[in-house]
Structure 1
Amino acid sequence: MSELIAKQRGRLRSMILWLLYQSPKRGIDIIDDIYKMTWGFWKPSPGSVYPLLSKMEEEGLIRKIDGEKYTITDKGIKEIEGIIPLKHRSSIIDAIEELEGLATFFAEADKTQLSQYKERIEKALRKIEEVIKGG
Protein backbone atom coordinates (compact mmCIF):
# COMPACT_ATOMS: atom_id res chain seq x y z
CA MET A 1 0.00 0.00 0.00
CA SER A 2 1.38 3.39 -0.91
CA GLU A 3 2.35 5.90 1.73
CA LEU A 4 -0.16 8.36 0.29
CA ILE A 5 -3.08 5.97 0.78
CA ALA A 6 -1.93 5.23 4.33
CA LYS A 7 -1.91 8.97 5.10
CA GLN A 8 -5.41 9.33 3.67
CA ARG A 9 -6.73 6.50 5.84
CA GLY A 10 -5.44 8.38 8.88
CA ARG A 11 -7.48 11.37 7.77
CA LEU A 12 -10.70 9.45 7.16
CA ARG A 13 -12.40 10.72 10.30
CA SER A 14 -11.71 14.37 9.43
CA MET A 15 -12.69 13.84 5.80
CA ILE A 16 -16.02 12.34 6.85
CA LEU A 17 -16.72 15.23 9.21
CA TRP A 18 -15.83 17.76 6.51
CA LEU A 19 -18.10 16.07 3.97
CA LEU A 20 -20.96 15.95 6.46
CA TYR A 21 -20.37 19.61 7.26
CA GLN A 22 -21.13 20.34 3.61
CA SER A 23 -24.35 18.29 3.54
CA PRO A 24 -25.97 15.18 5.02
CA LYS A 25 -24.88 11.99 3.25
CA ARG A 26 -25.34 8.25 3.22
CA GLY A 27 -22.29 6.07 3.84
CA ILE A 28 -22.00 5.16 0.17
CA ASP A 29 -22.07 8.86 -0.75
CA ILE A 30 -19.18 9.48 1.64
CA ILE A 31 -17.17 6.69 0.01
CA ASP A 32 -17.88 8.07 -3.47
CA ASP A 33 -17.10 11.66 -2.45
CA ILE A 34 -13.75 10.67 -0.94
CA TYR A 35 -12.91 8.84 -4.15
CA LYS A 36 -13.70 12.03 -6.10
CA MET A 37 -11.85 14.27 -3.60
CA THR A 38 -8.70 12.21 -4.06
CA TRP A 39 -9.10 12.20 -7.84
CA GLY A 40 -9.44 8.44 -7.86
CA PHE A 41 -6.29 7.78 -5.84
CA TRP A 42 -8.17 6.31 -2.86
CA LYS A 43 -11.58 4.78 -2.27
CA PRO A 44 -12.13 3.78 1.35
CA SER A 45 -13.75 0.42 1.86
CA PRO A 46 -17.20 0.01 3.42
CA GLY A 47 -15.42 -2.04 6.10
CA SER A 48 -13.50 1.04 7.20
CA VAL A 49 -16.22 3.68 6.71
CA TYR A 50 -19.30 2.12 8.31
CA PRO A 51 -17.66 1.08 11.61
CA LEU A 52 -16.14 4.55 11.85
CA LEU A 53 -19.54 6.15 11.23
CA SER A 54 -21.00 4.06 14.08
CA LYS A 55 -18.17 5.07 16.40
CA MET A 56 -18.52 8.74 15.47
CA GLU A 57 -22.26 8.52 16.10
CA GLU A 58 -21.61 7.04 19.56
CA GLU A 59 -19.17 9.88 20.27
CA GLY A 60 -21.82 12.46 19.36
CA LEU A 61 -19.88 13.86 16.38
CA ILE A 62 -22.56 12.89 13.88
CA ARG A 63 -26.15 11.68 13.98
CA LYS A 64 -28.49 9.87 11.63
CA ILE A 65 -31.35 11.69 9.97
CA ASP A 66 -34.07 10.36 7.67
CA GLY A 67 -33.07 6.85 8.71
CA GLU A 68 -30.13 6.58 6.32
CA LYS A 69 -28.22 9.87 6.09
CA TYR A 70 -25.65 11.17 8.52
CA THR A 71 -25.21 14.80 9.49
CA ILE A 72 -22.56 16.55 11.56
CA THR A 73 -23.33 17.83 15.06
CA ASP A 74 -21.97 20.94 16.78
CA LYS A 75 -19.46 18.69 18.55
CA GLY A 76 -18.30 17.37 15.16
CA ILE A 77 -17.91 20.89 13.78
CA LYS A 78 -15.77 21.85 16.78
CA GLU A 79 -13.50 18.87 16.10
CA ILE A 80 -12.68 19.99 12.56
CA GLU A 81 -12.67 23.77 12.96
CA GLY A 82 -8.95 23.91 13.68
CA ILE A 83 -7.77 21.63 10.88
CA ILE A 84 -9.99 22.27 7.88
CA PRO A 85 -10.98 25.70 6.59
CA LEU A 86 -14.75 25.81 6.75
CA LYS A 87 -16.74 27.52 4.02
CA HIS A 88 -18.24 30.13 6.31
CA ARG A 89 -14.76 31.19 7.43
CA SER A 90 -13.05 31.11 4.03
CA SER A 91 -10.54 33.80 3.30
CA ILE A 92 -7.69 34.39 0.90
CA ILE A 93 -5.23 32.90 3.38
CA ASP A 94 -7.42 29.77 3.73
CA ALA A 95 -7.43 29.36 -0.05
CA ILE A 96 -3.65 29.82 -0.24
CA GLU A 97 -3.13 27.23 2.50
CA GLU A 98 -5.40 24.84 0.60
CA LEU A 99 -3.38 25.40 -2.59
CA GLU A 100 -0.17 24.73 -0.68
CA GLY A 101 -1.69 21.52 0.65
CA LEU A 102 -2.70 20.46 -2.85
CA ALA A 103 0.84 21.14 -4.10
CA THR A 104 2.16 18.80 -1.39
CA PHE A 105 -0.48 16.20 -2.27
CA PHE A 106 0.55 16.31 -5.95
CA ALA A 107 4.24 16.10 -5.03
CA GLU A 108 3.57 12.88 -3.10
CA ALA A 109 1.14 11.40 -5.66
CA ASP A 110 1.93 8.57 -8.04
CA LYS A 111 3.19 10.41 -11.11
CA THR A 112 1.77 7.84 -13.54
CA GLN A 113 -1.73 8.39 -12.14
CA LEU A 114 -1.22 12.14 -11.95
CA SER A 115 -0.18 12.42 -15.61
CA GLN A 116 -3.67 11.49 -16.80
CA TYR A 117 -4.97 14.72 -15.22
CA LYS A 118 -2.20 16.95 -16.57
CA GLU A 119 -4.45 19.01 -18.87
CA ARG A 120 -7.03 19.67 -16.15
CA ILE A 121 -4.35 20.70 -13.68
CA GLU A 122 -2.70 23.00 -16.22
CA LYS A 123 -6.09 24.58 -17.04
CA ALA A 124 -6.73 25.25 -13.34
CA LEU A 125 -3.24 26.75 -12.98
CA ARG A 126 -3.87 29.07 -15.96
CA LYS A 127 -7.12 30.26 -14.36
CA ILE A 128 -5.33 31.03 -11.11
CA GLU A 129 -2.57 32.89 -12.98
CA GLU A 130 -5.18 34.98 -14.83
CA VAL A 131 -6.84 35.93 -11.55
CA ILE A 132 -3.52 36.88 -9.97
CA LYS A 133 -2.57 39.01 -12.99
CA GLY A 134 -5.97 40.73 -12.83
CA GLY A 135 -7.23 39.28 -16.11
Structure 2
Amino acid sequence: MPPLPPEAPPFPGERPSPRIRRGDVRAALLALLHEGPQNGYQMIQGIEERSRGVWRPSPGSVYPALQQLEDEGLVAGDESGGSRTYRLTDQGRGSAARHAEEAPWEEVARTIPDDHHELRLLWAQLNEAFGHLVRTGDDRQLAEAKKLIKQTRKSVFQILAED
Protein backbone atom coordinates (compact mmCIF):
# COMPACT_ATOMS: atom_id res chain seq x y z
CA MET A 1 0.00 0.00 0.00
CA PRO A 2 1.59 3.36 -0.97
CA PRO A 3 2.17 5.89 1.83
CA LEU A 4 -0.50 8.48 2.38
CA PRO A 5 0.31 11.99 1.16
CA PRO A 6 0.68 14.53 3.95
CA GLU A 7 -2.45 16.56 4.48
CA ALA A 8 -2.15 20.32 4.47
CA PRO A 9 -3.02 21.83 7.84
CA PRO A 10 -6.38 23.64 7.73
CA PHE A 11 -4.89 26.77 9.34
CA PRO A 12 -1.34 28.13 9.39
CA GLY A 13 0.64 26.37 12.12
CA GLU A 14 -2.09 23.81 12.85
CA ARG A 15 -1.01 20.18 12.78
CA PRO A 16 -2.88 17.67 10.62
CA SER A 17 -5.28 15.14 12.09
CA PRO A 18 -4.60 11.44 11.54
CA ARG A 19 -5.72 10.34 8.11
CA ILE A 20 -8.00 7.32 8.13
CA ARG A 21 -9.08 5.95 4.78
CA ARG A 22 -12.28 4.17 3.87
CA GLY A 23 -11.88 0.52 4.78
CA ASP A 24 -9.20 1.09 7.44
CA VAL A 25 -11.57 0.23 10.31
CA ARG A 26 -12.61 -2.98 8.58
CA ALA A 27 -9.00 -3.98 7.86
CA ALA A 28 -7.96 -3.22 11.43
CA LEU A 29 -10.81 -5.29 12.89
CA LEU A 30 -9.95 -8.28 10.72
CA ALA A 31 -6.27 -8.00 11.66
CA LEU A 32 -7.10 -7.88 15.38
CA LEU A 33 -9.51 -10.80 15.18
CA HIS A 34 -6.83 -12.75 13.32
CA GLU A 35 -4.98 -12.67 16.68
CA GLY A 36 -8.00 -14.05 18.56
CA PRO A 37 -11.57 -13.33 19.70
CA GLN A 38 -12.24 -9.88 21.17
CA ASN A 39 -15.11 -7.62 22.05
CA GLY A 40 -15.58 -4.23 20.41
CA TYR A 41 -14.05 -2.27 23.28
CA GLN A 42 -10.92 -4.46 23.20
CA MET A 43 -10.59 -3.83 19.47
CA ILE A 44 -10.92 -0.06 19.93
CA GLN A 45 -8.18 -0.20 22.58
CA GLY A 46 -6.04 -2.46 20.38
CA ILE A 47 -6.18 -0.02 17.47
CA GLU A 48 -5.33 2.87 19.75
CA GLU A 49 -2.35 1.01 21.25
CA ARG A 50 -1.00 -0.16 17.90
CA SER A 51 -1.29 3.34 16.42
CA ARG A 52 0.60 4.75 19.44
CA GLY A 53 -2.42 6.74 20.57
CA VAL A 54 -3.00 8.44 17.22
CA TRP A 55 -6.15 6.59 16.18
CA ARG A 56 -9.01 5.63 18.48
CA PRO A 57 -11.98 4.72 16.31
CA SER A 58 -15.38 5.53 17.74
CA PRO A 59 -17.91 2.85 18.64
CA GLY A 60 -20.05 4.45 15.92
CA SER A 61 -17.55 3.30 13.31
CA VAL A 62 -16.47 -0.01 14.89
CA TYR A 63 -19.84 -1.63 15.63
CA PRO A 64 -21.40 -1.01 12.19
CA ALA A 65 -18.22 -2.42 10.60
CA LEU A 66 -18.45 -5.49 12.83
CA GLN A 67 -22.10 -5.90 11.87
CA GLN A 68 -21.18 -5.70 8.18
CA LEU A 69 -18.41 -8.28 8.66
CA GLU A 70 -20.91 -10.50 10.46
CA ASP A 71 -23.47 -10.06 7.65
CA GLU A 72 -20.77 -11.07 5.14
CA GLY A 73 -20.02 -14.22 7.13
CA LEU A 74 -16.46 -13.17 7.99
CA VAL A 75 -17.03 -12.86 11.74
CA ALA A 76 -19.41 -14.36 14.27
CA GLY A 77 -20.49 -12.73 17.49
CA ASP A 78 -21.19 -14.59 20.73
CA GLU A 79 -22.94 -13.13 23.77
CA SER A 80 -21.37 -13.89 27.13
CA GLY A 81 -21.46 -12.04 30.41
CA GLY A 82 -23.26 -9.03 28.94
CA SER A 83 -20.63 -8.53 26.25
CA ARG A 84 -20.52 -9.58 22.63
CA THR A 85 -17.26 -11.26 21.64
CA TYR A 86 -16.38 -11.52 17.97
CA ARG A 87 -14.29 -14.21 16.29
CA LEU A 88 -13.33 -14.96 12.72
CA THR A 89 -15.23 -17.62 10.81
CA ASP A 90 -13.36 -20.01 8.50
CA GLN A 91 -14.08 -17.64 5.62
CA GLY A 92 -12.95 -14.70 7.76
CA ARG A 93 -9.68 -16.42 8.71
CA GLY A 94 -8.84 -16.82 5.05
CA SER A 95 -9.63 -13.17 4.32
CA ALA A 96 -7.71 -11.93 7.38
CA ALA A 97 -4.68 -14.10 6.56
CA ARG A 98 -4.53 -12.73 3.00
CA HIS A 99 -4.46 -9.17 4.36
CA ALA A 100 -2.56 -9.69 7.64
CA GLU A 101 0.36 -7.50 6.57
CA GLU A 102 -1.97 -4.64 5.59
CA ALA A 103 -3.16 -3.64 9.06
CA PRO A 104 -3.62 0.13 8.73
CA TRP A 105 -2.63 1.42 12.19
CA GLU A 106 1.03 1.98 11.29
CA GLU A 107 0.06 3.86 8.15
CA VAL A 108 -2.40 6.02 10.11
CA ALA A 109 0.22 6.65 12.81
CA ARG A 110 2.70 7.83 10.15
CA THR A 111 0.29 10.61 9.13
CA ILE A 112 1.15 12.40 12.40
CA PRO A 113 4.68 13.71 13.09
CA ASP A 114 6.56 11.58 15.62
CA ASP A 115 6.94 14.42 18.10
CA HIS A 116 3.16 14.49 18.55
CA HIS A 117 2.67 10.80 19.38
CA GLU A 118 3.59 11.16 23.04
CA LEU A 119 1.46 14.30 23.43
CA ARG A 120 -1.55 12.54 21.88
CA LEU A 121 -1.00 9.51 24.10
CA LEU A 122 -0.83 11.70 27.20
CA TRP A 123 -4.02 13.46 26.11
CA ALA A 124 -5.78 10.11 25.67
CA GLN A 125 -4.65 9.04 29.14
CA LEU A 126 -5.86 12.34 30.61
CA ASN A 127 -9.19 11.90 28.85
CA GLU A 128 -9.53 8.43 30.37
CA ALA A 129 -8.78 9.80 33.85
CA PHE A 130 -11.29 12.61 33.28
CA GLY A 131 -13.96 10.05 32.37
CA HIS A 132 -13.33 8.16 35.61
CA LEU A 133 -13.45 11.40 37.59
CA VAL A 134 -16.77 12.45 36.09
CA ARG A 135 -18.32 9.05 36.80
CA THR A 136 -16.97 8.45 40.30
CA GLY A 137 -15.59 11.70 41.76
CA ASP A 138 -17.09 13.27 44.86
CA ASP A 139 -17.74 17.02 45.22
CA ARG A 140 -14.26 17.74 46.64
CA GLN A 141 -12.52 15.82 43.86
CA LEU A 142 -14.58 17.56 41.17
CA ALA A 143 -13.78 21.00 42.67
CA GLU A 144 -10.03 20.19 42.75
CA ALA A 145 -10.16 18.93 39.17
CA LYS A 146 -11.90 22.12 37.98
CA LYS A 147 -9.13 24.24 39.53
CA LEU A 148 -6.46 22.05 37.97
CA ILE A 149 -8.07 22.13 34.52
CA LYS A 150 -8.45 25.92 34.61
CA GLN A 151 -4.80 26.33 35.64
CA THR A 152 -3.63 23.87 33.00
CA ARG A 153 -5.59 25.67 30.28
CA LYS A 154 -4.03 28.97 31.37
CA SER A 155 -0.55 27.41 31.38
CA VAL A 156 -0.97 26.01 27.86
CA PHE A 157 -1.95 29.44 26.56
CA GLN A 158 1.08 30.91 28.34
CA ILE A 159 3.32 28.43 26.52
CA LEU A 160 1.74 29.42 23.20
CA ALA A 161 2.23 33.13 23.99
CA GLU A 162 5.99 32.74 24.57
CA ASP A 163 6.94 33.53 20.94
Q: What TM-score results when the alignment is normalised by the length of structure 1? A: 0.61
Instruction: Tell me which residue corresponds to 1:23.
Output: 36
CA distance 1:54–1:107, shift in 2 (3 Å): closer
| Counterpart-to-counterpart distance in 2, 1:31 and 1:105 | 14
Q: Is the 8 A contact 1:5 1:41 kept in 2?
A: no
Cα deviation, 1:68-115, whole Å, max 9, x if unaligned, reads 100011111222222224xxxxxxxxxxx99xx95x766543233146
- Structure 2: runs of 5+ lacking an equivalent: 1-6, 8-15, 120-163
Higher relative contact order (CA closer than 8 Å, sequence separation 6+) = 2
Structure number with bigger Rg: 2
CA distance 1:105–1:31, shift in 2 (3 Å): closer
- Structure 1: runs of 5+ lacking an equivalent: 86-96, 117-135
Instruction: Tell me which residue corresponds to 2:114.
Output: 111
Counterpart code for 2:97:
E
What number of residue pairs does the alignment pair up? 102
**Matching residue within 17, 20, 24 for 1:6:** 20
| Counterpart-to-counterpart distance in 2, 1:107 and 1:30 | 20
**Matching residue within 65, 80, 87 for 1:52:** 65
Q: Root-mean-square deviation (CA), in Å?
A: 3.1
Q: Say whether 1:78 aligns with 2:91.
A: no
Q: What TM-score results when the alignment is normalised by the length of structure 2? A: 0.52
Q: Is the 8 A contact 1:25 1:69 kept in 2?
A: yes
Between Structure 1 and Structure 2, the one with more helix by share is 1
Q: Is the 8 A contact 2:34 2:97 kept in 1?
A: no
Secondary structure of residue in 2 paired with 1:33: helix
